Amino acid sequence: MELWQGDLVSQIQSAENEESAFKKIEDEALALGFENAAYGLRLNLNITNQKVVMMNNYSQNWKRRYTDENYISIDPVVKHGNKSLMPVVWSSNKITENKNFWEDAYSHNLKYGWSQASADQVGRRGLLTLTRGHEPISELELKELQYRLTWLTQISHHCMSEIITTKKMPETMITLTMREKDVLRWTAAGKTSGETSTIMNITERTVNFHIANSMQKLNCINKTSATVRAAMLGLLD
Protein backbone atom coordinates (compact mmCIF):
# COMPACT_ATOMS: atom_id res chain seq x y z
CA MET A 1 0.00 0.00 0.00
CA GLU A 2 1.37 3.42 -0.98
CA LEU A 3 1.59 6.25 1.53
CA TRP A 4 -1.34 8.21 0.10
CA GLN A 5 -3.54 5.11 0.29
CA GLY A 6 -2.78 4.49 3.93
CA ASP A 7 -3.31 8.17 4.77
CA LEU A 8 -6.68 8.22 3.04
CA VAL A 9 -7.87 5.03 4.74
CA SER A 10 -6.81 6.18 8.20
CA GLN A 11 -8.35 9.63 7.75
CA ILE A 12 -11.75 8.32 6.66
CA GLN A 13 -11.81 5.44 9.12
CA SER A 14 -10.95 7.74 12.04
CA ALA A 15 -13.88 10.05 11.30
CA GLU A 16 -16.38 10.35 14.14
CA ASN A 17 -19.46 10.54 11.92
CA GLU A 18 -20.58 10.43 8.31
CA GLU A 19 -20.26 14.21 7.89
CA SER A 20 -16.59 14.29 8.88
CA ALA A 21 -15.89 11.16 6.83
CA PHE A 22 -17.49 12.74 3.78
CA LYS A 23 -15.41 15.88 4.32
CA LYS A 24 -12.30 13.72 3.81
CA ILE A 25 -13.79 12.49 0.54
CA GLU A 26 -14.44 16.09 -0.51
CA ASP A 27 -10.82 17.00 0.26
CA GLU A 28 -9.56 14.08 -1.84
CA ALA A 29 -11.86 15.06 -4.71
CA LEU A 30 -10.44 18.59 -4.60
CA ALA A 31 -6.89 17.22 -4.61
CA LEU A 32 -7.76 15.21 -7.72
CA GLY A 33 -8.95 18.31 -9.57
CA PHE A 34 -12.69 18.20 -8.95
CA GLU A 35 -14.98 20.75 -7.30
CA ASN A 36 -17.80 18.59 -5.98
CA ALA A 37 -18.26 15.13 -4.52
CA ALA A 38 -21.36 13.04 -3.92
CA TYR A 39 -21.90 9.67 -2.29
CA GLY A 40 -25.17 7.76 -2.28
CA LEU A 41 -25.93 4.56 -0.38
CA ARG A 42 -28.84 2.23 -1.12
CA LEU A 43 -29.92 -0.40 1.36
CA ASN A 44 -32.30 -3.19 0.37
CA LEU A 45 -34.15 -3.93 3.59
CA ASN A 46 -36.74 -6.05 1.81
CA ILE A 47 -38.43 -6.18 -1.58
CA THR A 48 -40.73 -3.23 -0.91
CA ASN A 49 -38.50 -1.18 1.35
CA GLN A 50 -35.32 0.47 0.15
CA LYS A 51 -33.52 3.25 1.95
CA VAL A 52 -31.33 5.74 0.15
CA VAL A 53 -28.91 8.08 1.90
CA MET A 54 -27.27 10.84 -0.15
CA MET A 55 -24.46 13.18 0.84
CA ASN A 56 -22.91 15.84 -1.39
CA ASN A 57 -21.54 19.37 -1.46
CA TYR A 58 -23.63 20.57 -4.38
CA SER A 59 -25.29 23.98 -4.29
CA GLN A 60 -28.46 24.33 -2.24
CA ASN A 61 -30.33 25.32 -5.41
CA TRP A 62 -29.38 22.04 -7.12
CA LYS A 63 -30.19 20.00 -4.04
CA ARG A 64 -33.69 21.51 -3.92
CA ARG A 65 -34.14 21.09 -7.65
CA TYR A 66 -33.04 17.45 -7.54
CA THR A 67 -35.48 16.70 -4.74
CA ASP A 68 -38.41 18.70 -6.11
CA GLU A 69 -38.15 17.10 -9.55
CA ASN A 70 -37.52 13.63 -8.09
CA TYR A 71 -34.49 13.40 -10.35
CA ILE A 72 -33.22 10.31 -8.58
CA SER A 73 -35.87 8.34 -10.47
CA ILE A 74 -34.51 9.38 -13.88
CA ASP A 75 -30.87 10.27 -13.16
CA PRO A 76 -28.86 8.48 -15.89
CA VAL A 77 -25.83 8.17 -13.61
CA VAL A 78 -27.89 6.46 -10.91
CA LYS A 79 -29.42 4.15 -13.51
CA HIS A 80 -25.98 3.20 -14.78
CA GLY A 81 -24.75 2.58 -11.23
CA ASN A 82 -27.71 0.32 -10.51
CA LYS A 83 -26.71 -1.93 -13.39
CA SER A 84 -22.93 -1.74 -13.55
CA LEU A 85 -19.88 -1.33 -11.33
CA MET A 86 -17.85 0.05 -14.22
CA PRO A 87 -16.82 3.72 -13.96
CA VAL A 88 -18.42 6.16 -16.34
CA VAL A 89 -17.60 9.66 -17.57
CA TRP A 90 -20.70 11.79 -18.01
CA SER A 91 -19.93 12.52 -21.64
CA SER A 92 -20.03 8.79 -22.38
CA ASN A 93 -22.71 7.56 -24.77
CA LYS A 94 -23.77 5.16 -22.01
CA ILE A 95 -25.61 7.92 -20.13
CA THR A 96 -26.74 10.46 -22.71
CA GLU A 97 -30.50 9.96 -22.26
CA ASN A 98 -32.76 12.50 -20.48
CA LYS A 99 -31.59 15.63 -22.26
CA ASN A 100 -33.65 17.92 -20.01
CA PHE A 101 -31.97 16.50 -16.90
CA TRP A 102 -28.51 17.16 -18.30
CA GLU A 103 -29.41 20.69 -19.37
CA ASP A 104 -30.68 21.40 -15.87
CA ALA A 105 -27.54 19.96 -14.25
CA TYR A 106 -25.37 21.96 -16.66
CA SER A 107 -27.16 25.17 -15.69
CA HIS A 108 -26.13 24.47 -12.07
CA ASN A 109 -22.46 24.19 -13.11
CA LEU A 110 -22.48 20.37 -13.00
CA LYS A 111 -20.91 20.03 -16.42
CA TYR A 112 -18.20 17.38 -16.24
CA GLY A 113 -18.33 14.33 -14.01
CA TRP A 114 -17.06 10.86 -13.23
CA SER A 115 -19.02 8.20 -11.35
CA GLN A 116 -18.51 4.63 -10.17
CA ALA A 117 -20.80 2.29 -8.26
CA SER A 118 -19.74 -0.19 -5.60
CA ALA A 119 -21.43 -3.13 -3.91
CA ASP A 120 -20.76 -5.48 -1.02
CA GLN A 121 -21.86 -8.92 0.14
CA VAL A 122 -24.52 -7.63 2.53
CA GLY A 123 -26.57 -5.97 -0.17
CA ARG A 124 -25.40 -2.39 0.19
CA ARG A 125 -24.78 -0.47 -3.02
CA GLY A 126 -22.95 2.83 -3.21
CA LEU A 127 -22.28 5.43 -5.88
CA LEU A 128 -19.43 7.95 -5.82
CA THR A 129 -19.54 10.94 -8.15
CA LEU A 130 -16.94 13.68 -8.67
CA THR A 131 -17.80 16.76 -10.72
CA ARG A 132 -16.52 20.13 -11.86
CA GLY A 133 -17.70 22.95 -14.07
CA HIS A 134 -14.50 24.36 -15.53
CA GLU A 135 -12.87 21.70 -17.73
CA PRO A 136 -13.76 18.42 -19.50
CA ILE A 137 -12.15 15.22 -18.25
CA SER A 138 -9.56 14.21 -20.83
CA GLU A 139 -8.59 10.65 -21.66
CA LEU A 140 -5.04 11.32 -20.46
CA GLU A 141 -6.26 12.70 -17.12
CA LEU A 142 -8.61 9.78 -16.67
CA LYS A 143 -5.80 7.33 -17.36
CA GLU A 144 -3.54 9.03 -14.83
CA LEU A 145 -6.22 9.23 -12.12
CA GLN A 146 -8.06 5.96 -12.70
CA TYR A 147 -6.30 4.00 -9.96
CA ARG A 148 -6.80 6.70 -7.34
CA LEU A 149 -10.41 7.19 -8.38
CA THR A 150 -11.15 3.49 -8.10
CA TRP A 151 -9.41 3.31 -4.73
CA LEU A 152 -11.40 6.32 -3.49
CA THR A 153 -14.61 4.64 -4.64
CA GLN A 154 -13.93 1.47 -2.70
CA ILE A 155 -12.69 3.04 0.53
CA SER A 156 -15.55 5.58 0.45
CA HIS A 157 -18.13 2.82 0.18
CA HIS A 158 -16.50 0.65 2.82
CA CYS A 159 -16.21 3.41 5.41
CA MET A 160 -19.33 5.43 4.65
CA SER A 161 -21.61 2.40 4.46
CA GLU A 162 -20.31 1.10 7.79
CA ILE A 163 -20.76 4.45 9.53
CA ILE A 164 -24.23 5.10 8.11
CA THR A 165 -25.45 1.55 8.63
CA THR A 166 -24.20 1.29 12.20
CA LYS A 167 -25.35 4.69 13.41
CA LYS A 168 -28.50 5.35 11.39
CA MET A 169 -29.84 1.98 10.31
CA PRO A 170 -29.05 -0.66 12.93
CA GLU A 171 -31.75 -2.92 11.47
CA THR A 172 -29.32 -3.82 8.68
CA MET A 173 -26.76 -5.18 11.16
CA ILE A 174 -28.71 -8.42 11.63
CA THR A 175 -26.68 -11.59 12.01
CA LEU A 176 -27.83 -15.18 11.59
CA THR A 177 -26.18 -18.34 12.88
CA MET A 178 -24.90 -20.88 10.39
CA ARG A 179 -27.80 -23.20 11.23
CA GLU A 180 -30.31 -20.42 10.65
CA LYS A 181 -28.70 -19.61 7.32
CA ASP A 182 -28.73 -23.26 6.24
CA VAL A 183 -32.39 -23.66 7.17
CA LEU A 184 -33.36 -20.52 5.23
CA ARG A 185 -31.30 -21.61 2.23
CA TRP A 186 -33.25 -24.87 2.05
CA THR A 187 -36.47 -22.93 2.55
CA ALA A 188 -35.47 -20.73 -0.39
CA ALA A 189 -34.99 -23.92 -2.40
CA GLY A 190 -38.63 -24.82 -1.71
CA LYS A 191 -38.04 -27.50 0.93
CA THR A 192 -40.55 -28.06 3.71
CA SER A 193 -39.49 -28.22 7.35
CA GLY A 194 -39.71 -32.01 7.18
CA GLU A 195 -37.57 -32.22 4.07
CA THR A 196 -35.05 -29.79 5.55
CA SER A 197 -34.82 -31.87 8.73
CA THR A 198 -33.97 -34.95 6.66
CA ILE A 199 -31.40 -33.10 4.57
CA MET A 200 -29.71 -31.53 7.59
CA ASN A 201 -30.08 -34.62 9.76
CA ILE A 202 -31.82 -32.72 12.56
CA THR A 203 -35.34 -32.91 13.95
CA GLU A 204 -38.20 -31.01 12.36
CA ARG A 205 -38.70 -29.30 15.71
CA THR A 206 -35.14 -27.98 15.53
CA VAL A 207 -35.73 -26.74 11.99
CA ASN A 208 -38.81 -24.83 13.14
CA PHE A 209 -36.86 -23.47 16.10
CA HIS A 210 -34.26 -21.97 13.75
CA ILE A 211 -36.98 -20.62 11.47
CA ALA A 212 -38.73 -18.95 14.41
CA ASN A 213 -35.46 -17.37 15.56
CA SER A 214 -34.78 -16.09 12.06
CA MET A 215 -38.26 -14.63 11.75
CA GLN A 216 -37.82 -12.79 15.05
CA LYS A 217 -34.41 -11.39 14.10
CA LEU A 218 -35.64 -10.30 10.67
CA ASN A 219 -38.95 -8.96 12.00
CA CYS A 220 -40.98 -11.12 9.58
CA ILE A 221 -44.32 -12.84 10.08
CA ASN A 222 -43.60 -16.03 8.12
CA LYS A 223 -40.67 -18.09 6.91
CA THR A 224 -41.07 -17.06 3.28
CA SER A 225 -40.75 -13.35 4.01
CA ALA A 226 -37.87 -14.09 6.39
CA THR A 227 -36.08 -15.99 3.65
CA VAL A 228 -36.64 -13.21 1.13
CA ARG A 229 -35.45 -10.51 3.51
CA ALA A 230 -32.36 -12.49 4.49
CA ALA A 231 -31.51 -12.89 0.82
CA MET A 232 -32.07 -9.18 0.15
CA LEU A 233 -29.68 -8.30 2.98
CA GLY A 234 -27.04 -10.66 1.62
CA LEU A 235 -27.19 -12.92 4.67
CA LEU A 236 -27.53 -16.15 2.70
CA ASP A 237 -24.49 -15.67 0.42
CATH number at residue 201: 1.10.10.10
pLDDT band, residue 74 (cuts 50/70/90):
very high
Query: In this structure, is residue 25 part of a structural domain?
Result: yes
Q: Tell me the per-residue pLDDT of 104-122, one tens digit each, with 9 for 90 and over.
A: 999 999 999 999 999 876 6
* Statement to judge: residues 106 and 221 lie in one domain: no
Do residue 34 and residue 72 come from a single domain?
Answer: yes
Q: Is residue 188 classed as helix, strand or coil in its secondary structure? A: helix
Domain membership of residue 54 as a residue range: 3-169
Neighbouring CB atoms inside 10 A of 205's CB total 9
Examine the domain organization and report whether 137 and 92 are in the same domain: yes
Report yes or no on 144 lying in a domain: yes
Q: Is residue 237 part of a domain?
A: no
- 96 and 195 part of one domain: no
Q: What's the 3-state SS for 66-108?
A: HHHCCHHHCCHHHHHHHHCCCCEECCCHHHCCCHHHHHHHHHC
**Is residue 45 very low, low, confident or very high in pLDDT (cuts 50, 70, 90)?**
low
Do 198 and 111 fall within a single domain? no
Residue that terminates a domain, selected from 117, 137, 169: 169
Q: Which of 169, 189, 208 is the last residue of a domain?
A: 169
- Do 131 and 222 fall into the same domain? no
Number of structural domains (the chain) is 2
pTM: 0.74
